[in-house]
Structure 1
Amino acid sequence: MLRTGNYLHSPAPNGGNSPDYNESGVISAANGVLFDGTSAYAGWMGSATSQSTVNVVIDLLKDYPLSEIRVVLNSPNQYWGFKDITVKYRPESATGYYIAARHVRTGSALNYSVAVPMSDKMARFIVLNIRRTQAYQHIPLTEVELVRGTGISNLIPGPALTAEQLQAELKKEALLADRFGQWMNEDWPGKVTTEAQLRQEYAAEAAALANVSLDPALYDPYGGIKSLGKQAATGYFRLQTINGKWWFITPDGYPFIVKGIDSTSLWEPGYKTPILKPDGTLKKIFEELPDRTVYAPSYTRDANGEYVSFVVANVMKKYGSDYESKWEEITKKRLIQWGFNTFSKWTKPRNFTFPYIQSLQDPSNLRRILWSYDMFDPQSGPIIENALKAQLQNTRYSKWLIGYTYDNEAGWNAEIVKEVLTYSSTSPAKSAFVDFVAQRYNGSLASANQALGTNAASFDALKNTRIDIAKVPTAIVSDYIRLASRTYHSMIRDIMKKYDPNHLFLGTSIVPTWRTSLEWDQAAMPFVDAFSVDVYSRDASWISRYEAFGKPLLNLEHSFGSSERGLSYINVGTRTTSVRERGLAYQAFAESQAAHPLFVGSGWYSYYDQPVTGRPDGESYNTGLVNQQDQPYKEMVDIMKTTHATLEKVHQSGLASP
């Protein structure tokens, strides 16, 4: 066992034992807790502002052949733990790091260790990147055990690194992706190794899907279920209750449940990955990037940098000339075979017809309040109308359009009100609050001051007074949120109906437990045709929050993922351990939602996985029906196909599979 060299924590531990506790400089392996063979540990306490990843860099002072690296992470209680750990190494002669392993924590045991085989690879430097599951989780690091392997150590090493130099080690990159955008540090059956393999897979799948189409004996052109009986046909999608259950009705008059897929476009921005570092130089995480001339469409650039989409490059390699139309043909047949019937959110393919929901985004020049904006601003309506007018007019007569959502995951709660109350009279939202309070107290300034804990000389002065939300009665905060919601949703509805009276307003894709409130959601109900949410969970009980309102409900973003092939899951509630379990989790969740009489559909996020090297915001989740090499997760989509075939019966009966 090697107990030599120095190490450095980043950030410094703010928990655990000395001498590592609060130490931001170099620690000797002879003195520190990580190599002492005891239960002493370094700890990083979670908080609202804690870093998502903690790092440790070890300098062994010279190259050693290593047989194994064992990392011990023993938790004092259930509030400690970690999501995953990446172990990297480099010999002194290398300029970048290699990934030895990326391990995702399993189970709930407090005492935990990770063994990483090294097979006598040479290493002088070792880096540990340990990620939290969520911000408040505490991270322990008890011991790092380095088992020396067989081989000759470097006899003429360079000097020991300083703290500044060790910090610089943490900025050095490791190779992550091969020339197809796949995780380099793991092999699996079917991993793409040649372009010929991609072309062979296309030929085989095209033959298998040759006869796939909607059966006109069972479905109308939009996917409506003929066996459920024909209703009134209006030429557009609409909503109707049948025997106490809500349904969409297709333009031809047949019942329909949204079985949707999100972000289906080949050109979806979330499938690209940045290729430049902040200084403008090329990242050294790619084995090989696509040829810039041959695969020029896979490259894009904006004010923040340059990107490559391995999805686009791989599709070009796989389908050859006229790649987009061939890809669209295969994609449509896949979705039909798997039982999907709607493009439910975000982007969609450019050239084939399929029922879809249009996501309308709020303009960037609105007056912002935290994550939302000021709907009391007299300019908000004209700005939004100007931004949406052409979009609404262009789709007004589309029979394939189900309806619109507007904005995304941006309701109001007490945090927004707290912010508004700090503003002056230049804020329309603050003025609206004071006007609302004045009306509530019939113009009595004394009553308003007493209720708000203020001492303003006039209502105009009150508009320029910072108000402490802790002193404001809860009922006033709640009713003000309802007023804001009514103002917002009525404005959006009126703009939509002015330019497109034919299609449905399907809400604003709210996350029930984040950046909204029940008051906001409740006040929206009279103005929407259906209420949409984004819920990443296995638990369909979110529906109970809205049962009393009686509106049709949609869940337009959800998925399940596993930590394989360099990707991860979105949250603990959506974590699975295999491709098959992803499918089974979908089946259980889809059926439990569909069994409710208010539920009219959902959208799986997303068609492709995110890139292993991270999309522009850093996310790298296993969310796809298909990987970035255009290979379907067959075991999962087969289960989805079975699920979709009976989902209408589940909705009719109110009973999910046992």
Structure 2
Amino acid sequence: MTVHKRACTTPPPRASRSFRVRWPVLIAAACAGLVLATTSPPAVAAGAHDLGDETMLYDFQDGLVPAEVGPYQAKTTIVGRGDKKLRVDFQARKNYYSSFSVRPEPVWNWSAEESESLGIAMELTNPSDRSVQLTIDLESSTGVATRSVNVPAGGGGTYYFDVDSPALHRDTGLRADPSWLADKDVTSAVWMWGSKETDTSRISQLNFYVAGLLHDRSVIVDDIRVVRDAPADPDYLKGLVDAFGQNNKVDYKGKVSRTSEILRQRAAEAKDLRRHPVPEDRSRYGGWLNGPRLEATGNFRVEKYQGRWTLVDPDGYLFFSTGIDNARMFDSPTTTGYDFDHDAIQELPPPSLTAGGPEDLNRVQKSALPTRTKMSETRADLFSKLPKYRTRAGEGFGYAPDTLAGPVAQGETYSFYKANVARKYPGSNYMERWRDNTVDRMLSWGFTSFGNWTDPEMYDNDRIPYFAHGWIKGDFKTVSTGQDYWGPMPDPFDPAFSDAAARTARAVADEVADSPLAIGVFMDNELSWGNAGSFSTRYGVVIDTMSRDAAESPTKSAFSDELEEKYGTIDALNAAWQTTVPSWEALRSGSADLGSDETAKESDYSALMTLYATQYFKTVDAELDKVMPDHLYAGSRFASWGRTPEVVEAASKYVDIMSYNEYREGLHPSEWAFLEELDKPSLIGEFHMGTTTTGQPHPGLVSAGTQAERARMYAEYMEQLIDNPYMVGGHWFQYADSPVTGRALDGENYNIGFVSVTDRPYPEIVAAARDVNQRLYDRRYGNLATAEGHYTGRRSAE
């Protein structure tokens, strides 16, 4: 029985494994207005996987695009002469966002029958020559659940969206779990963000979209169906990783089974590094030795040279920053599920204000080991084997005083990456050898610098430049945007914030020690400034702050002063805002009703947002100038979800390099046209692409189909930055893969490294980096004349 869903508050008819159809279900289907194409069982396309108790929603066999399927900046057609399917051509090159969605009217209700699990299965194939990352939103009365799949170029298969299951609600501490389905040939969509609680009685939309692509894509869709009680693998989490931290359930090229293989790889790489020396066109600081030599100041600076922004190295050579973030051990541990008697643990050092962290990863002292207690069986069962503390592999143990996600709030950690480095370099100086080899790699791979969060022990390497980093932490007051992803926003009008910024600036300055290798400093990271999606997301800081009492909120006091200075009388403000605020005192107290007229308040809210952001960047810049006047302030690295026009404009007045983290295929022209108007030197601080081909359950924020495609996507992204006249650099996040079992902080378990957990470089992306970096300066500056007439930026030579 083929069923095309048009309306349903009653459950749709089900095709069970035995294909029995009950009369009450048929009656319900008829009254709901369903089109019953035939009385035979629903056919699933050849090659599709039978997941058990399935109900067909759409099989497209009538040759019509269902009325409730709507494309947006995309084209939908029915293809196939026999077995008909829906083809969707995403017009992605011209449009940042392209989608097709299913909006049932009335909403779907799948709640009437109890089941252990509920999901949506579909057949997806990709006729394109590039893989397509398809993001899927399922919207219900409880919010939007967002998953993602990657359909490889020229390939496809059966894909499953978990709507409700015990696995979905199990807190594992992993950003994405391995598939719990018994059929491992079915690809489970990975969790991205949003709600894990779906109201299955009121599902209002199923939306498929692509975003930020630089090339058009197509996908062919068939047999969208509801699945109940899909067969499950009861051991999908048990023994997930082996003794080296590799996925125990997946075989792939480069996987090791013994330490001797790590040692052989080390020897082979040493030969490779010798065969690939630093490109010959590099100055001692990594600048373009064959290009024009501008004024040398002894430190890095920015300059606009013949219409293109550029960094200038300390000796005066044009410089473009290519590098890798997070070359350090700090983010490599994963929680084990064990903890200790807290009274037995030594006092841990306070959180670092810089990119540094304890080299021993907060390893607990010997006397605390007898108090080791299992706190999470789920976490503990992920590991097939953990070593003893006193062994060589035991070098990987540490302790997390707090986490942001997962079943343990604190506890024992283990870094498989550090343990494998200890295996790789026998002796007590293995960390020093790892650092030396990391610098060797950066130079051999052609990079001109490190990116953010480099181990400060490598700052004095005397061979490659770097960016330093500072975290502004303290007891200052905060405000909120309502979307505080990493935490609440600072109150920059609080004098305690200025004090905290000064402490951080001094800590960074102490580590940098006025080194000419330090290009600049990032301060903070991906703050929740809001976004331009709506009034509430754009002005969240203002909305929240206006509800506060000025006596307790310095930012509210500053906002109130600004409004009173502008309007003079409360009546004038009420006339402008269409409100009935009784007095300035009522406004200051936060008790006044500010009404719902967004349009009337928008210009003032925009000005207040600018005031807030200006105070933040002005304060940080002033404190850096006091202790690091010769180094560049590289901003706070805006996330794409945390950036508004007001904040960007405010930052541009105080930072030397505008920094952005952009996790897309590249910089889509429709979203980045503002660079021309802003006209500031800019840098991409984070981007990456990943796959699931090496056992990581989650590919990362941007996915590729293969390691070769990941390498190609890296090269294309970097080439776009190199060609952009406003860009002065691009940094890949990150050096090593995330742990398969999730990093301790928040569970990220992405294949986003240039090296694996066993410290093995991925040859495809290394080759791509070498090629891009070898051609870097000829591509960026090769067509520029060396004539005079350039003009300089704010921190250029006097």
Could you state the TM-score of these two structures normalised by the residue count of structure 2?
0.64
Cα displacement (A) at 1:187: 1.0
Query: Secondary structure of the equivalent of 1:520?
Result: helix
- Check if 1:179 corresponds to 2:279: no
Amino acid at match of 1:556: G
Amino acid at match of 2:566: R
The 5 Å alignment of 1:621-636 reads 621-636=750-765
* Paired position in structure 1 for 2:397: 299
Looking at structure 1, the residues matched to 738 and 9 of structure 2 have their Cα atoms a distance apart, in angstroms, of 36
Looking at structure 2, the residues matched to 39 and 189 of structure 1 have their Cα atoms a distance apart, in angstroms, of 38
For 1:639, which of 744, 760, 768 is the aligned residue?
768
Cα displacement (A) at 1:40: 6.1
- Check if 1:431 corresponds to 2:557: yes
**Does the CA contact (< 8 Å) of 1:393 and 1:500 recur in 2?**
no
Cα displacement (A) at 1:484: 1.2
For 1:268, which of 320, 327, 330 is the aligned residue?
330
- Check if 1:314 corresponds to 2:420: yes
Looking at structure 2, the residues matched to 57 and 30 of structure 1 have their Cα atoms a distance apart, in angstroms, of 20
Query: Secondary structure of the equivalent of 1:232?
Result: coil
Looking at structure 2, the residues matched to 106 and 330 of structure 1 have their Cα atoms a distance apart, in angstroms, of 36
* Paired position in structure 2 for 1:600: 728
The 5 Å alignment of 1:330-479 reads 330-348=437-455, 350-351=457-458, 352-353=461-462, 354-370=464-480, 371-410=488-527, 411=529, 413-425=538-550, 426-441=552-567, 443-464=568-589, 465-466=591-592, 467-468=594-595, 470-471=597-598, 472-479=600-607
- Check if 1:615 corresponds to 2:743: yes
* Paired position in structure 2 for 1:585: 713
Cα displacement (A) at 1:555: 0.3
Query: Secondary structure of the equivalent of 2:621?
Result: helix
**Does the CA contact (< 8 Å) of 1:396 and 1:503 recur in 2?**
no
**Does the CA contact (< 8 Å) of 1:29 and 1:35 recur in 2?**
no
Residue deviations 1:364-396, cap 9 Å, x none?
423122231211223321232133323324425
* Paired position in structure 2 for 1:227: 290
The 5 Å alignment of 1:512-531 reads 513-531=640-658
Amino acid at match of 1:454: T
Amino acid at match of 1:487: Q
Looking at structure 2, the residues matched to 339 and 456 of structure 1 have their Cα atoms a distance apart, in angstroms, of 62
Cα displacement (A) at 1:28: 13
Residue deviations 1:376-435, cap 9 Å, x none?
223321232133323324425111101111111113531221111221222222222121
- Return closer, same or farther for 1:288/1:31 CA change in 2, 3 Å cut-off: farther
- Check if 1:189 corresponds to 2:253: yes
Amino acid at match of 2:574: N
Amino acid at match of 2:651: A
* Paired position in structure 2 for 1:7: none
Could you state the TM-score of these two structures normalised by the residue count of structure 1?
0.77
* Paired position in structure 2 for 1:284: 381
- Return closer, same or farther for 1:255/1:81 CA change in 2, 3 Å cut-off: closer
Amino acid at match of 1:429: T
- Return closer, same or farther for 1:35/1:596 CA change in 2, 3 Å cut-off: closer
Amino acid at match of 1:113: T
Amino acid at match of 1:244: G
Cα displacement (A) at 1:105: 5.0
**Does the CA contact (< 8 Å) of 1:72 and 1:112 recur in 2?**
no
Cα displacement (A) at 1:447: 0.6
**Does the CA contact (< 8 Å) of 2:135 and 2:149 recur in 1?**
no
Residue deviations 1:167-186, cap 9 Å, x none?
xx989842211111111111
Looking at structure 1, the residues matched to 576 and 582 of structure 2 have their Cα atoms a distance apart, in angstroms, of 15
* Paired position in structure 2 for 1:250: 313
Q: Which runs of 5+ in 2 are unaligned?
A: 1-7, 26-50, 59-101, 105-113, 125-131, 138-147, 161-179, 196-204, 208-223, 339-373, 402-409, 481-487, 531-537, 785-798
Query: Secondary structure of the equivalent of 1:625?
Result: coil
Residue deviations 1:61-87, cap 9 Å, x none?
xxxxxxxxx994469xx999869xxxx
Query: Could you say which structure has the greater relative contact order, defined with CA pairs below 8 angstroms and 6 or more residues apart?
Result: 2
RMSD between aligned residues: 4.0
Looking at structure 2, the residues matched to 419 and 71 of structure 1 have their Cα atoms a distance apart, in angstroms, of 38
- Return closer, same or farther for 1:633/1:552 CA change in 2, 3 Å cut-off: same
- Return closer, same or farther for 1:313/1:56 CA change in 2, 3 Å cut-off: farther
The 5 Å alignment of 1:128-207 reads 131-132=190-191, 135=194, 138=206, 142-143=226-227, 173-207=237-271
Query: Secondary structure of the equivalent of 1:561?
Result: coil
* Paired position in structure 2 for 1:157: none
Looking at structure 2, the residues matched to 470 and 172 of structure 1 have their Cα atoms a distance apart, in angstroms, of 52
* Paired position in structure 2 for 1:3: none
Residue deviations 1:484-507, cap 9 Å, x none?
121111111110001111101111
- Check if 1:532 corresponds to 2:525: no
Query: Secondary structure of the equivalent of 1:532?
Result: strand
**Does the CA contact (< 8 Å) of 1:81 and 1:138 recur in 2?**
no
Looking at structure 2, the residues matched to 362 and 380 of structure 1 have their Cα atoms a distance apart, in angstroms, of 8
Looking at structure 1, the residues matched to 260 and 716 of structure 2 have their Cα atoms a distance apart, in angstroms, of 38
- Return closer, same or farther for 1:29/1:170 CA change in 2, 3 Å cut-off: farther
**Does the CA contact (< 8 Å) of 1:396 and 1:500 recur in 2?**
no
Residue deviations 1:568-593, cap 9 Å, x none?
2333xx22111111111111111112
The 5 Å alignment of 1:540-555 reads 540=667, 541=669, 542-555=671-684
- Return closer, same or farther for 1:334/1:16 CA change in 2, 3 Å cut-off: farther
**Does the CA contact (< 8 Å) of 1:71 and 1:145 recur in 2?**
no
Residue deviations 1:147-185, cap 9 Å, x none?
9xxxxxxxxxxxxxxxxxx9xx98984221111111111
Looking at structure 2, the residues matched to 185 and 398 of structure 1 have their Cα atoms a distance apart, in angstroms, of 47
Amino acid at match of 1:305: G
- Return closer, same or farther for 1:73/1:428 CA change in 2, 3 Å cut-off: same
After superposing the two structures, state which structure 1 stretch, 429-438 or 456-465, moved more: 456-465
Q: Which runs of 5+ in 1 are unaligned?
A: 1-14, 22-26, 47-54, 59-69, 84-102, 116-123, 148-165
* Paired position in structure 2 for 1:565: 694
Looking at structure 1, the residues matched to 680 and 159 of structure 2 have their Cα atoms a distance apart, in angstroms, of 49
- Return closer, same or farther for 1:297/1:526 CA change in 2, 3 Å cut-off: same
Cα displacement (A) at 1:211: 6.3
Looking at structure 2, the residues matched to 28 and 173 of structure 1 have their Cα atoms a distance apart, in angstroms, of 31
Query: Secondary structure of the equivalent of 1:342?
Result: coil
Amino acid at match of 1:650: R
- Check if 1:18 corresponds to 2:26: no
- Return closer, same or farther for 1:280/1:185 CA change in 2, 3 Å cut-off: closer
Cα displacement (A) at 1:108: 11
Amino acid at match of 1:516: R
- Return closer, same or farther for 1:379/1:451 CA change in 2, 3 Å cut-off: farther
Percent of pairs with identical residues? 26
* Paired position in structure 2 for 1:495: 623
**Does the CA contact (< 8 Å) of 1:505 and 1:530 recur in 2?**
yes
**Does the CA contact (< 8 Å) of 2:468 and 2:512 recur in 1?**
no
After superposing the two structures, state which structure 1 stretch, 481-490 or 281-290, moved more: 281-290
**Does the CA contact (< 8 Å) of 1:72 and 1:144 recur in 2?**
no
Query: Secondary structure of the equivalent of 2:764?
Result: helix
Amino acid at match of 2:727: F
- Return closer, same or farther for 1:470/1:347 CA change in 2, 3 Å cut-off: farther
Looking at structure 1, the residues matched to 439 and 642 of structure 2 have their Cα atoms a distance apart, in angstroms, of 35
**Does the CA contact (< 8 Å) of 2:474 and 2:496 recur in 1?**
no
**Does the CA contact (< 8 Å) of 1:343 and 1:355 recur in 2?**
yes
Query: Secondary structure of the equivalent of 2:450?
Result: strand
* Paired position in structure 1 for 2:300: 237
Cα displacement (A) at 1:595: 0.9
Cα displacement (A) at 1:524: 1.4
Cα displacement (A) at 1:280: 4.7
- Check if 1:648 corresponds to 2:758: no
